[in-house]
Amino acid sequence: MTCLRPTGRQGLDTAEGVLIALRRCTSDEAFREIIWAAEHHRVPVFALADALVTAASGSPTADGAARSAVVAQWGALLAGPARTGG
């Protein structure tokens, strides 16, 4: 079965959207945070973006280093507080 996920720049844009939704930040702030995290954790930007998108969707990612970086950087944010309907 083939899983179609955004890749490259489209994946980076989607990852920015994840952070914008979770942090209520601007696109520029989300972009800078992704770039900083990729440099800090020494993983490729697009791999980190893909791992962030797949983690946010609850799917596993194949790139172990990028997945570890996402968990270290945004794990608590992705887990979030218990959400209530409203």
C-beta atoms surrounding 49 within 10 Å? 31
User: Burial of 20 by CB count in 10 Å (0-12 exposed, 13-18 middle, 19+ buried)?
Assistant: middle
- Helices and strands in the chain: count of H runs, count of E runs: 4, 0
Domain ranges of the chain: 8-77
Q: What is the mean pLDDT of each run of 10 residues along the chain (86 residues)?
A: 62 97 97 98 96 91 88 93 51
Q: What is the per-residue pLDDT for 59?
A: 86
Helix 45-57 and helix 64-79, axial crossing angle in degrees, nearest 10: 50
**CA-based nearest residue to 52, from 86, 26, 15, 84:** 15
Q: What is the per-residue pLDDT for 86?
A: 43
